[in-house]
Amino acid sequence: MLTASPPLPPVLYSTNPLIKLHVQQRYRGDVHFVWCSEYFNAKLLPRYEMAAPPSSDPAAIYRTLRDDVARCDRHSLKIAALKAGIIARAGEWERDGAITAEDREEIVCLAESEDFTLWKPLLYVIPRTALEPNRVQRVRPADRAGTAREWVIQDLRRPEFDILEIDL
């Protein structure tokens, strides 16, 4: 007997660095691309729940960024990956004509800045009631970090989510 897919979660969570918020506000018309989890902290789930591994767990990402920023860790793997992603997206946006070459240069300069506060983590809390169901896309199993469900929203607008800074 086939069973229906579980319903979409009522709230989604995503941890992002401050620089990503600024770049998407300034250069993307305040439209945000976010990778989300239905759980904030996988460590608090029941023992046998299919939870996200640390690379997709918003609380673990938050802790890693917070600690790397506090230590001004110039060898942070997480910051390096985020920086590479922001620079790559800026190149894509320029090629697509969404931003100018000058905008791309500004984004790259910002990403390569020595200012660690730009990498400060922010927790996005996204109530599902604010979104049309077709805007929340389930990540294909092959693209997930683990077995837990993950979600992508490509066009999240600023009024549709809250931002928290927390002490974990």
Kindly provide the b/e burial profile for residues 67-94, where b requires at least 16 CB atoms within 10 angstroms of the residue's own CB. Answer: ebbeeebeebebbeebbeebeebbeebb
* Distance of alpha carbon 81 from alpha carbon 111, whole angstroms: 11
Averages of pLDDT over each 10 residues, the chain, 168 residues: 62 96 97 92 70 81 96 96 97 97 98 96 92 87 85 94 90
- 88 falls within a domain: yes
Residue 4 in domain? no
Note whether residue 69 is domain-resident.
yes
Range of 97's domain? 11-42+52-164
**Residue 5 is assigned to a structural domain of this protein:** no
Instruction: Tell me if 1 is assigned to some domain.
Output: no
**Number of domains making up the chain:** 1
Taking residue 36's Cβ as centre, other Cβ atoms within 10 Å add up to 24
pLDDT at 129: 83
CB proximity list for 142: less than 8 A, separation 6 or greater: none
Asked if residue 138 is part of any domain, the answer here is yes
d(CA 23, CA 113): 14
Instruction: Tell whether 3 is covered by a domain.
Output: no
Instruction: With respect to residue 139, please indicate whether it lies within any of the assigned structural domains.
Output: yes
Structure tokens at 124: 């996005």
